[in-house]
Amino acid sequence: MVFSSHLFCFYFLPLALAVYYALPWRLKNLGLVGLSYLFYGWANPAFVLVMLFSTGVDYVCGLTLAGHRPWDRDPVRKLEGNRRSRRQRLALAVSIVTNLSLLGFFKYFNFGVDSLDTMLATMARLGWAPADLGFDSVLRVTLPLGISFYTFQSMSYTLDVYRGRSAALRDPIDFACFVSMFPQLVAGPILRFNEVAEQLRQRTHSLSQSARGFAFFALGMAKKVLLANPCGKIADTTFDAASVSLVDAWYGVCAYAFQIYFDFSGYSDMAIGLGLLLGFHFPKNFDSPYRSQSITEFWRRWHMSLSRWLRDYLYIPLGGNRRGKTRTYVNLAVVMLLGGLWHGAAWTFVIWGAMHGLLLAAERLRGGEAATAHLPRLLRIALTFVLVLVSWVFFRAPNLEVALAYLGSMAGIGEPQPQAALLGGLIYQPYYLLTFTIAALVTWAAPQTWDVCRHLSWPKAWGCLVLFWVALVAMETQGYNPFIYFIF
Protein backbone atom coordinates (compact mmCIF):
# COMPACT_ATOMS: atom_id res chain seq x y z
CA MET A 1 0.00 0.00 0.00
CA VAL A 2 1.50 3.31 -1.01
CA PHE A 3 0.28 6.70 0.18
CA SER A 4 -0.68 7.84 -3.30
CA SER A 5 -3.22 5.06 -3.76
CA HIS A 6 -7.00 4.84 -3.69
CA LEU A 7 -6.90 2.30 -0.88
CA PHE A 8 -4.67 4.38 1.36
CA CYS A 9 -6.23 7.79 0.81
CA PHE A 10 -9.88 6.85 0.90
CA TYR A 11 -9.94 3.83 3.18
CA PHE A 12 -6.86 3.30 5.27
CA LEU A 13 -6.18 6.91 6.23
CA PRO A 14 -9.74 7.74 7.33
CA LEU A 15 -9.87 4.43 9.22
CA ALA A 16 -6.49 5.09 10.85
CA LEU A 17 -7.47 8.59 11.98
CA ALA A 18 -10.84 7.39 13.26
CA VAL A 19 -9.32 4.52 15.24
CA TYR A 20 -6.44 6.60 16.55
CA TYR A 21 -8.54 9.48 17.80
CA ALA A 22 -11.26 7.22 19.19
CA LEU A 23 -8.80 5.41 21.41
CA PRO A 24 -7.89 6.68 24.87
CA TRP A 25 -4.32 7.93 25.28
CA ARG A 26 -2.98 4.75 26.89
CA LEU A 27 -4.16 2.66 23.93
CA LYS A 28 -3.10 5.00 21.13
CA ASN A 29 0.29 3.35 20.60
CA LEU A 30 -1.33 -0.08 20.60
CA GLY A 31 -3.84 1.12 18.00
CA LEU A 32 -1.01 2.55 15.96
CA VAL A 33 0.84 -0.76 16.06
CA GLY A 34 -2.27 -2.60 14.88
CA LEU A 35 -2.83 -0.13 12.06
CA SER A 36 0.83 -0.25 11.07
CA TYR A 37 0.83 -4.04 10.89
CA LEU A 38 -2.34 -3.90 8.79
CA PHE A 39 -0.64 -1.36 6.51
CA TYR A 40 2.49 -3.47 6.28
CA GLY A 41 0.75 -6.82 6.01
CA TRP A 42 -1.37 -5.64 3.13
CA ALA A 43 1.69 -5.77 0.87
CA ASN A 44 2.44 -9.31 1.97
CA PRO A 45 1.05 -10.80 5.18
CA ALA A 46 4.06 -13.08 5.64
CA PHE A 47 6.44 -10.15 5.94
CA VAL A 48 4.74 -9.10 9.15
CA LEU A 49 6.52 -12.06 10.73
CA VAL A 50 9.90 -10.74 9.59
CA MET A 51 9.20 -7.37 11.16
CA LEU A 52 7.86 -8.98 14.33
CA PHE A 53 11.04 -11.04 14.62
CA SER A 54 13.30 -8.02 14.15
CA THR A 55 11.22 -6.05 16.65
CA GLY A 56 11.27 -8.85 19.21
CA VAL A 57 15.04 -9.35 19.00
CA ASP A 58 15.80 -5.64 19.36
CA TYR A 59 13.34 -5.21 22.22
CA VAL A 60 14.98 -8.02 24.17
CA CYS A 61 18.46 -6.75 23.28
CA GLY A 62 17.50 -3.26 24.46
CA LEU A 63 16.33 -4.51 27.84
CA THR A 64 19.37 -6.76 28.12
CA LEU A 65 21.61 -3.78 27.45
CA ALA A 66 19.83 -1.87 30.19
CA GLY A 67 20.01 -4.84 32.56
CA HIS A 68 16.26 -4.67 32.89
CA ARG A 69 13.55 -7.31 32.82
CA PRO A 70 10.10 -6.65 31.33
CA TRP A 71 8.37 -7.23 34.65
CA ASP A 72 10.62 -4.90 36.62
CA ARG A 73 8.59 -1.93 37.83
CA ASP A 74 11.30 0.63 38.31
CA PRO A 75 12.01 3.04 35.43
CA VAL A 76 14.69 2.12 32.92
CA ARG A 77 17.69 4.44 33.11
CA LYS A 78 20.16 5.48 30.47
CA LEU A 79 23.48 3.68 30.61
CA GLU A 80 26.28 5.79 31.95
CA GLY A 81 29.98 5.90 31.17
CA ASN A 82 31.73 4.16 28.30
CA ARG A 83 32.50 0.78 29.82
CA ARG A 84 30.11 -2.00 28.82
CA SER A 85 29.98 -5.53 30.11
CA ARG A 86 30.51 -8.60 27.96
CA ARG A 87 26.78 -9.30 28.20
CA GLN A 88 25.96 -5.81 26.93
CA ARG A 89 28.42 -6.08 24.06
CA LEU A 90 26.91 -9.45 23.18
CA ALA A 91 23.37 -8.01 23.23
CA LEU A 92 24.43 -5.23 20.86
CA ALA A 93 26.16 -7.74 18.60
CA VAL A 94 23.04 -9.92 18.50
CA SER A 95 20.94 -6.93 17.50
CA ILE A 96 23.32 -5.79 14.78
CA VAL A 97 23.95 -9.27 13.42
CA THR A 98 20.24 -10.08 13.37
CA ASN A 99 19.27 -6.91 11.54
CA LEU A 100 22.12 -7.06 9.08
CA SER A 101 21.44 -10.75 8.48
CA LEU A 102 17.79 -10.05 7.70
CA LEU A 103 18.80 -7.21 5.42
CA GLY A 104 21.58 -9.26 3.87
CA PHE A 105 19.42 -12.27 3.18
CA PHE A 106 16.32 -10.53 1.88
CA LYS A 107 18.06 -7.76 0.00
CA TYR A 108 21.33 -9.23 -1.17
CA PHE A 109 20.75 -12.97 -1.61
CA ASN A 110 19.70 -12.68 -5.25
CA PHE A 111 22.50 -10.21 -5.94
CA GLY A 112 25.08 -12.52 -4.35
CA VAL A 113 23.92 -15.57 -6.26
CA ASP A 114 23.79 -13.69 -9.57
CA SER A 115 27.22 -12.14 -9.04
CA LEU A 116 28.72 -15.52 -8.16
CA ASP A 117 27.13 -17.06 -11.22
CA THR A 118 28.49 -14.31 -13.45
CA MET A 119 31.93 -14.65 -11.91
CA LEU A 120 31.98 -18.43 -12.40
CA ALA A 121 30.77 -18.08 -15.97
CA THR A 122 33.52 -15.56 -16.70
CA MET A 123 36.12 -17.83 -15.11
CA ALA A 124 34.83 -20.73 -17.18
CA ARG A 125 35.09 -18.65 -20.35
CA LEU A 126 38.69 -17.83 -19.49
CA GLY A 127 39.40 -21.47 -18.83
CA TRP A 128 40.10 -20.91 -15.13
CA ALA A 129 37.17 -23.01 -13.96
CA PRO A 130 35.14 -25.93 -15.28
CA ALA A 131 32.15 -24.91 -17.38
CA ASP A 132 29.62 -26.70 -15.18
CA LEU A 133 30.69 -25.00 -11.97
CA GLY A 134 28.05 -22.26 -12.17
CA PHE A 135 24.73 -22.92 -10.53
CA ASP A 136 21.32 -21.80 -11.53
CA SER A 137 19.57 -20.97 -8.30
CA VAL A 138 15.84 -21.61 -8.36
CA LEU A 139 15.37 -19.74 -5.09
CA ARG A 140 14.58 -16.08 -5.66
CA VAL A 141 14.04 -14.10 -2.50
CA THR A 142 11.28 -11.49 -2.46
CA LEU A 143 12.29 -8.22 -0.83
CA PRO A 144 10.06 -7.33 2.12
CA LEU A 145 8.67 -3.84 1.91
CA GLY A 146 10.69 -1.18 3.74
CA ILE A 147 13.17 -3.64 5.27
CA SER A 148 16.09 -1.29 4.55
CA PHE A 149 14.37 1.40 6.57
CA TYR A 150 13.05 -0.45 9.58
CA THR A 151 16.16 -2.54 10.16
CA PHE A 152 18.27 0.63 10.26
CA GLN A 153 15.74 2.29 12.50
CA SER A 154 15.56 -0.69 14.80
CA MET A 155 19.35 -0.89 15.01
CA SER A 156 19.53 2.77 15.94
CA TYR A 157 17.55 1.89 19.06
CA THR A 158 20.02 -0.66 20.42
CA LEU A 159 22.95 1.53 19.40
CA ASP A 160 21.46 4.56 21.18
CA VAL A 161 20.74 2.51 24.27
CA TYR A 162 24.27 1.03 24.19
CA ARG A 163 25.83 4.47 23.91
CA GLY A 164 23.71 5.81 26.74
CA ARG A 165 21.91 8.33 24.54
CA SER A 166 18.50 6.91 25.30
CA ALA A 167 16.93 4.71 27.92
CA ALA A 168 15.61 1.35 26.79
CA LEU A 169 11.87 1.01 26.40
CA ARG A 170 10.15 -1.23 28.88
CA ASP A 171 6.86 -1.32 27.07
CA PRO A 172 7.04 -3.63 24.03
CA ILE A 173 4.09 -1.80 22.48
CA ASP A 174 5.99 1.47 22.51
CA PHE A 175 8.94 -0.22 20.86
CA ALA A 176 6.79 -1.97 18.25
CA CYS A 177 5.20 1.41 17.58
CA PHE A 178 8.63 2.96 16.98
CA VAL A 179 9.68 0.23 14.55
CA SER A 180 6.44 -0.22 12.66
CA MET A 181 4.95 3.28 12.58
CA PHE A 182 3.21 3.30 9.21
CA PRO A 183 3.81 6.92 8.14
CA GLN A 184 7.55 6.40 7.78
CA LEU A 185 7.76 2.63 7.60
CA VAL A 186 8.14 2.22 3.86
CA ALA A 187 10.38 5.09 2.85
CA GLY A 188 11.46 7.05 5.88
CA PRO A 189 12.47 9.53 7.09
CA ILE A 190 14.69 7.09 9.00
CA LEU A 191 14.12 7.92 12.63
CA ARG A 192 16.84 7.69 15.20
CA PHE A 193 15.41 6.40 18.41
CA ASN A 194 16.45 9.40 20.47
CA GLU A 195 14.49 11.64 18.10
CA VAL A 196 11.15 10.08 18.96
CA ALA A 197 11.73 8.34 22.29
CA GLU A 198 9.99 11.08 24.21
CA GLN A 199 7.16 11.37 21.68
CA LEU A 200 6.33 7.70 22.13
CA ARG A 201 5.49 8.40 25.76
CA GLN A 202 4.05 11.86 25.42
CA ARG A 203 2.85 13.88 22.47
CA THR A 204 0.31 16.56 21.80
CA HIS A 205 -2.49 16.80 19.33
CA SER A 206 -4.06 20.01 18.11
CA LEU A 207 -6.12 21.27 15.23
CA SER A 208 -3.41 23.62 14.02
CA GLN A 209 -0.94 20.73 14.05
CA SER A 210 -3.43 18.57 12.15
CA ALA A 211 -3.92 21.38 9.64
CA ARG A 212 -0.15 21.50 9.10
CA GLY A 213 -0.20 17.73 8.77
CA PHE A 214 -2.82 17.83 6.04
CA ALA A 215 -0.93 20.66 4.30
CA PHE A 216 2.26 18.58 4.29
CA PHE A 217 0.33 15.56 3.03
CA ALA A 218 -1.40 17.57 0.29
CA LEU A 219 1.81 19.15 -1.00
CA GLY A 220 3.65 15.84 -0.83
CA MET A 221 0.86 14.17 -2.77
CA ALA A 222 0.94 16.93 -5.39
CA LYS A 223 4.72 16.57 -5.76
CA LYS A 224 4.41 12.84 -6.15
CA VAL A 225 1.40 12.61 -8.46
CA LEU A 226 1.55 15.84 -10.46
CA LEU A 227 5.32 16.18 -10.91
CA ALA A 228 7.13 12.91 -10.21
CA ASN A 229 4.81 10.66 -12.21
CA PRO A 230 4.89 12.57 -15.52
CA CYS A 231 8.65 13.10 -15.20
CA GLY A 232 8.93 9.38 -14.51
CA LYS A 233 7.14 8.63 -17.74
CA ILE A 234 9.72 10.67 -19.67
CA ALA A 235 12.57 8.97 -17.81
CA ASP A 236 11.16 5.48 -18.30
CA THR A 237 10.70 6.07 -22.01
CA THR A 238 14.27 7.23 -22.55
CA PHE A 239 15.95 4.73 -20.25
CA ASP A 240 13.96 1.80 -21.65
CA ALA A 241 14.78 2.73 -25.24
CA ALA A 242 17.36 0.72 -27.12
CA SER A 243 18.93 3.92 -28.37
CA VAL A 244 18.51 7.64 -27.62
CA SER A 245 19.80 10.83 -29.17
CA LEU A 246 22.03 13.23 -27.24
CA VAL A 247 19.26 15.73 -26.54
CA ASP A 248 16.76 13.06 -25.51
CA ALA A 249 19.33 11.44 -23.23
CA TRP A 250 19.93 14.67 -21.28
CA TYR A 251 16.21 15.44 -21.19
CA GLY A 252 15.53 11.91 -19.92
CA VAL A 253 18.12 11.98 -17.15
CA CYS A 254 16.95 15.46 -16.03
CA ALA A 255 13.42 14.08 -15.93
CA TYR A 256 14.67 11.19 -13.82
CA ALA A 257 16.40 13.62 -11.45
CA PHE A 258 13.09 15.42 -11.01
CA GLN A 259 11.19 12.17 -10.69
CA ILE A 260 13.34 10.73 -7.92
CA TYR A 261 13.44 14.04 -6.07
CA PHE A 262 9.72 14.74 -6.18
CA ASP A 263 8.83 11.10 -5.67
CA PHE A 264 10.98 10.69 -2.61
CA SER A 265 10.66 14.15 -1.12
CA GLY A 266 6.92 14.08 -1.82
CA TYR A 267 6.66 10.80 0.02
CA SER A 268 8.71 12.20 2.89
CA ASP A 269 6.41 15.23 3.04
CA MET A 270 3.40 12.92 3.20
CA ALA A 271 5.10 10.93 5.96
CA ILE A 272 5.85 14.09 7.93
CA GLY A 273 2.25 15.21 7.46
CA LEU A 274 0.86 11.88 8.61
CA GLY A 275 3.20 12.04 11.60
CA LEU A 276 1.80 15.44 12.54
CA LEU A 277 -1.74 14.08 12.25
CA LEU A 278 -0.77 11.43 14.78
CA GLY A 279 1.09 13.83 17.05
CA PHE A 280 4.65 13.00 15.93
CA HIS A 281 7.28 15.44 14.72
CA PHE A 282 9.54 13.76 12.19
CA PRO A 283 12.79 15.33 11.00
CA LYS A 284 13.18 17.11 7.70
CA ASN A 285 14.44 14.77 4.98
CA PHE A 286 15.14 17.08 2.00
CA ASP A 287 16.44 20.61 1.84
CA SER A 288 16.32 21.57 -1.85
CA PRO A 289 19.27 19.32 -2.71
CA TYR A 290 19.56 20.42 -6.33
CA ARG A 291 20.41 23.93 -5.12
CA SER A 292 23.66 22.58 -3.69
CA GLN A 293 26.94 24.12 -4.76
CA SER A 294 29.01 21.01 -4.08
CA ILE A 295 28.54 17.27 -3.57
CA THR A 296 29.32 17.71 0.13
CA GLU A 297 26.44 20.16 0.37
CA PHE A 298 24.26 17.87 -1.73
CA TRP A 299 24.62 15.14 0.88
CA ARG A 300 23.70 17.58 3.64
CA ARG A 301 20.46 18.26 1.76
CA TRP A 302 19.51 14.91 0.15
CA HIS A 303 17.88 12.13 2.20
CA MET A 304 19.10 13.87 5.29
CA SER A 305 17.86 11.20 7.69
CA LEU A 306 19.96 8.56 5.93
CA SER A 307 23.00 10.83 5.81
CA ARG A 308 22.68 11.48 9.55
CA TRP A 309 22.22 7.77 10.23
CA LEU A 310 25.29 6.86 8.19
CA ARG A 311 27.29 9.63 9.84
CA ASP A 312 26.30 8.73 13.41
CA TYR A 313 26.28 4.95 13.17
CA LEU A 314 28.91 4.24 10.50
CA TYR A 315 31.20 7.17 9.67
CA ILE A 316 31.91 8.25 13.23
CA PRO A 317 32.39 4.70 14.59
CA LEU A 318 34.83 4.10 11.71
CA GLY A 319 36.85 7.01 13.08
CA GLY A 320 35.28 9.84 11.08
CA ASN A 321 37.86 12.52 10.41
CA ARG A 322 39.74 11.98 13.68
CA ARG A 323 42.31 9.49 12.39
CA GLY A 324 44.16 11.43 9.77
CA LYS A 325 43.44 12.52 6.23
CA THR A 326 43.91 9.20 4.49
CA ARG A 327 41.62 7.41 6.92
CA THR A 328 39.03 10.16 6.52
CA TYR A 329 38.97 9.69 2.74
CA VAL A 330 38.75 5.94 3.11
CA ASN A 331 35.92 6.33 5.63
CA LEU A 332 34.01 8.61 3.31
CA ALA A 333 34.41 6.22 0.41
CA VAL A 334 33.39 3.21 2.52
CA VAL A 335 30.32 4.97 3.90
CA MET A 336 29.15 6.07 0.47
CA LEU A 337 29.87 2.67 -1.03
CA LEU A 338 27.74 1.01 1.64
CA GLY A 339 25.19 3.79 1.24
CA GLY A 340 25.01 2.92 -2.43
CA LEU A 341 24.58 -0.75 -1.67
CA TRP A 342 21.88 0.12 0.87
CA HIS A 343 19.88 1.68 -1.95
CA GLY A 344 19.87 -1.43 -4.06
CA ALA A 345 21.49 -4.77 -4.59
CA ALA A 346 23.22 -4.22 -7.91
CA TRP A 347 26.62 -3.15 -9.14
CA THR A 348 25.10 0.01 -10.57
CA PHE A 349 24.26 1.14 -7.03
CA VAL A 350 27.76 0.28 -5.86
CA ILE A 351 29.18 2.46 -8.63
CA TRP A 352 26.73 5.23 -7.78
CA GLY A 353 27.85 5.12 -4.14
CA ALA A 354 31.53 4.88 -5.06
CA MET A 355 31.22 7.84 -7.38
CA HIS A 356 29.72 9.99 -4.64
CA GLY A 357 32.32 8.70 -2.16
CA LEU A 358 35.15 9.71 -4.48
CA LEU A 359 33.63 13.13 -5.13
CA LEU A 360 33.20 13.70 -1.38
CA ALA A 361 36.77 12.59 -0.72
CA ALA A 362 38.03 14.86 -3.50
CA GLU A 363 36.18 17.82 -2.05
CA ARG A 364 37.52 16.97 1.42
CA LEU A 365 41.00 16.90 -0.07
CA ARG A 366 40.44 20.49 -1.15
CA GLY A 367 39.40 21.48 2.33
CA GLY A 368 35.70 20.79 1.89
CA GLU A 369 35.41 22.81 -1.28
CA ALA A 370 34.42 21.69 -4.72
CA ALA A 371 36.84 22.27 -7.58
CA THR A 372 34.29 24.77 -8.82
CA ALA A 373 34.47 26.93 -5.69
CA HIS A 374 35.94 29.90 -7.60
CA LEU A 375 33.07 29.95 -10.10
CA PRO A 376 29.89 32.04 -9.80
CA ARG A 377 27.20 30.53 -7.62
CA LEU A 378 24.82 29.65 -10.44
CA LEU A 379 27.56 27.87 -12.31
CA ARG A 380 28.55 25.94 -9.19
CA ILE A 381 24.95 24.81 -8.77
CA ALA A 382 24.74 23.84 -12.43
CA LEU A 383 27.97 21.85 -12.35
CA THR A 384 27.00 20.07 -9.15
CA PHE A 385 23.67 19.19 -10.75
CA VAL A 386 25.44 17.78 -13.80
CA LEU A 387 27.62 15.57 -11.58
CA VAL A 388 24.51 14.37 -9.78
CA LEU A 389 22.84 13.70 -13.13
CA VAL A 390 25.72 11.54 -14.29
CA SER A 391 25.52 9.56 -11.07
CA TRP A 392 21.74 9.15 -11.47
CA VAL A 393 22.37 7.28 -14.71
CA PHE A 394 23.91 4.44 -12.69
CA PHE A 395 21.10 4.66 -10.16
CA ARG A 396 18.38 4.41 -12.80
CA ALA A 397 19.82 2.04 -15.39
CA PRO A 398 18.82 -1.61 -14.95
CA ASN A 399 22.41 -2.74 -15.46
CA LEU A 400 25.90 -1.53 -16.13
CA GLU A 401 25.68 -2.09 -19.86
CA VAL A 402 22.63 0.14 -20.21
CA ALA A 403 24.21 2.76 -17.94
CA LEU A 404 27.34 2.96 -20.06
CA ALA A 405 25.36 3.06 -23.29
CA TYR A 406 23.20 5.84 -21.87
CA LEU A 407 26.24 7.82 -20.76
CA GLY A 408 27.59 7.32 -24.28
CA SER A 409 24.41 8.86 -25.67
CA MET A 410 24.77 11.78 -23.25
CA ALA A 411 28.29 12.28 -24.54
CA GLY A 412 27.10 12.09 -28.13
CA ILE A 413 29.08 8.93 -28.83
CA GLY A 414 27.70 6.80 -31.64
CA GLU A 415 24.82 7.32 -34.01
CA PRO A 416 21.39 6.64 -32.55
CA GLN A 417 19.30 4.00 -34.27
CA PRO A 418 16.61 5.33 -36.65
CA GLN A 419 13.76 4.46 -34.30
CA ALA A 420 15.29 6.69 -31.60
CA ALA A 421 13.75 9.62 -33.43
CA LEU A 422 10.31 8.28 -32.56
CA LEU A 423 10.87 8.95 -28.86
CA GLY A 424 10.50 12.65 -29.46
CA GLY A 425 6.91 12.18 -30.55
CA LEU A 426 6.07 10.99 -27.06
CA ILE A 427 8.36 12.70 -24.59
CA TYR A 428 7.94 16.19 -26.02
CA GLN A 429 4.14 16.18 -25.79
CA PRO A 430 2.94 19.55 -24.37
CA TYR A 431 1.91 17.93 -21.09
CA TYR A 432 5.36 16.49 -20.47
CA LEU A 433 7.13 19.69 -21.45
CA LEU A 434 4.88 21.70 -19.16
CA THR A 435 5.38 19.33 -16.24
CA PHE A 436 9.14 19.27 -16.81
CA THR A 437 9.23 23.07 -16.76
CA ILE A 438 7.11 23.31 -13.60
CA ALA A 439 9.32 20.69 -11.95
CA ALA A 440 12.39 22.76 -12.78
CA LEU A 441 10.79 25.92 -11.42
CA VAL A 442 9.73 24.21 -8.19
CA THR A 443 13.20 22.69 -7.82
CA TRP A 444 15.13 25.92 -8.11
CA ALA A 445 12.70 28.75 -7.44
CA ALA A 446 9.79 27.71 -5.24
CA PRO A 447 9.74 27.70 -1.44
CA GLN A 448 10.14 24.34 0.26
CA THR A 449 7.18 22.41 1.64
CA TRP A 450 8.73 22.79 5.06
CA ASP A 451 8.65 26.59 4.77
CA VAL A 452 5.15 26.69 3.30
CA CYS A 453 3.74 24.56 6.10
CA ARG A 454 5.61 26.14 9.00
CA HIS A 455 2.98 28.86 9.37
CA LEU A 456 -0.25 28.33 7.49
CA SER A 457 -2.50 31.09 6.26
CA TRP A 458 -5.80 30.87 4.43
CA PRO A 459 -4.30 31.56 0.98
CA LYS A 460 -1.75 28.81 1.63
CA ALA A 461 -4.45 26.47 2.94
CA TRP A 462 -6.60 27.09 -0.12
CA GLY A 463 -3.62 26.45 -2.35
CA CYS A 464 -2.92 23.18 -0.54
CA LEU A 465 -6.54 22.13 -0.77
CA VAL A 466 -6.77 22.80 -4.50
CA LEU A 467 -3.50 20.96 -5.15
CA PHE A 468 -4.77 18.09 -2.99
CA TRP A 469 -7.96 17.82 -5.04
CA VAL A 470 -6.11 18.02 -8.36
CA ALA A 471 -3.59 15.42 -7.19
CA LEU A 472 -6.37 13.09 -6.03
CA VAL A 473 -8.16 13.45 -9.35
CA ALA A 474 -4.92 12.70 -11.17
CA MET A 475 -4.26 9.74 -8.88
CA GLU A 476 -7.73 8.37 -9.58
CA THR A 477 -7.57 8.77 -13.31
CA GLN A 478 -3.95 8.11 -14.24
CA GLY A 479 -2.70 4.55 -14.32
CA TYR A 480 1.01 5.35 -14.14
CA ASN A 481 1.90 5.66 -10.45
CA PRO A 482 5.22 4.03 -9.60
CA PHE A 483 7.04 4.69 -6.34
CA ILE A 484 10.80 4.44 -6.66
CA TYR A 485 11.78 3.99 -3.02
CA PHE A 486 9.11 1.34 -2.50
CA ILE A 487 11.64 -1.29 -3.54
CA PHE A 488 14.56 -0.04 -1.43
Partner 1 sequence: MPDKNFNHPSLFVAACLATLIYVPIAQHLLPSGEEGGWRAGPFAELGGAIAPADGKAWGLAANRELKRRLDNVERQLEDVSHVRSLLLPSVQWLLTSTAGIGNESVYPGREDWLILRQGFDYLVGPSFLEPIFLERRRRSASAWRPVPEPDPRPAIFDFAHQLAERGIRLLVLPAPTKMMVHPEALYRPRVESTPAPSEAAGGAPALDNPSFASFRAELEAGGVDVLSVAAILRQAQAETGVEQFLRTDSHWSPAGVEVAARVLADTIQQLDLPFNGPGVTWRRQQRTVTGVGDLERSLGLPGWRPLYTPQEVDVKRVVTGSGRPWQPDSRAEILLLGDSFTNVYSQPDVGWGRSAGLAEHLSFYLKRPVDRLAINAGGASATRRRLAQEMAAGKDRLAGKKLVIWQFAIRELAVGDWELVQLPASLASNLAQPRFSSLRSD
Residues annotated as catalytic are 343
Q: How wide is the angle at C-alpha 149 spanned by C-alphas 145 and 153, nearest 5°? A: 135
**Among residues 365, 382, 421, 487, which is the contact residue for partner 1, using CB under 8 A?**
421
Site for partner 1 in 22-51 (CB under 8 A): 42, 44-46
Q: Is 302 in the site for partner 1 (CB under 8 A)?
A: no
Contact positions with partner 1 (CB under 8 A) in 340-399: 398-399
Q: How far is the CB of 251 from partner 1 (least distance, A)?
A: 12
Q: How far is the CB of 114 from partner 1 (least distance, A)?
A: 9
Phi–psi pair at 280, nearest 5 degrees? -100, 145
* DSSP code of residue 130: -
Chosen residue from 40, 214, 216, 406 binding partner 1 by CB under 8 A:
214
| Alpha-carbon span 263 to 240, nearest angstrom | 19
Nearer to partner 1, 138 or 445 (CB): 138
Site string for partner 1, 423-442 (x = CB under 8 A): xxxx-xxxx--x--------
Asked if residue 55 lies in contact with residue 179, where contact means CB atoms within 8 angstroms, the answer is: yes
Cβ distance to partner 1 smaller for residue 80 or 136: 136
Q: Which of 245, 293, 296, 348 binds partner 1 (CB under 8 A)?
A: 245
Identify which of 164, 156, 146 has the alpha carbon closest to the alpha carbon of residue 192: 156
| DSSP 8-state symbol, 420 | G
Ramachandran region, residue 451 (left: φ > 0; alpha: ψ -120 to 50; beta: rest):
alpha
**One-letter-per-residue 3-state SS of 171-230:** CHHHHHHHHHCHHHHCCCCCCCHHHHHHHHHCCCCCHHHHHHHHHHHHHHHHHHHHHHHH
Q: How far is the CB of 280 from partner 1 (least distance, A)?
A: 17
What 3-state class would DSSP assign to 388?
A: helix
- Total residues belonging to the chain: 488
- Nearest approach in angstroms of CB 211 to partner 1 is 4
- Residues in the interface with partner 1 (CB under 8 A) total 70
Gyration radius of the chain's alpha carbons? 23
Q: For partner 1, which residue of 401, 441, 447, 451 counts as binding (CB under 8 A)?
A: 401
Q: How far is the CB of 140 from partner 1 (least distance, A)?
A: 7
Site for partner 1 in 171-210 (CB under 8 A): 206-208, 210
- Minimum CB separation from partner 1 for residue 63, in Å? 31
- 7 CB-near residues (< 8 Å, 6+ apart): 1, 42
Q: Per-residue x/- marks for partner 1, 449-488, CB under 8 A? A: ------xxxx-xx--xx--xx--xxx-xxxxx--------
Angle CA(317)–CA(323)–CA(324) in degrees, nearest 5?
140
Determine, following the binding rule CB under 8 A, whether residue 255 of this chain makes contact with partner 1.
no
Q: What is the smallest separation between the CB atom of 328 and partner 1, expressed in angstroms? A: 38
Residue type, 133: L
Question: Is 395 within 8 Å of 348 (Cβ atoms)?
Answer: yes
Q: Which of 133, 422, 441, 446 binds partner 1 (CB under 8 A)?
A: 422
DSSP per-residue codes, 4-16: TSHHIIIIIHHHH
Q: Which positions from 130 to 169 touch partner 1 by CB under 8 A, shown as an x/- string? A: ----------x-x---------------------------
- 342 within 8 A of 334, measured Cβ to Cβ: no
- Binding pattern to partner 1, positions 66-85, x when CB under 8 A? --------------------
**Whole-number Å distance between alpha carbons of 261 and 302:** 9
Give contact residues for partner 1 (rule: CB under 8 A): 1, 5-7, 9-11, 13-14, 17, 42, 44-46, 140, 142, 206-208, 210-211, 214-215, 217-218, 237, 240-243, 245, 247, 398-399, 401-402, 416-426, 428-431, 434, 455-458, 460-461, 464-465, 468-469, 472-474, 476-480
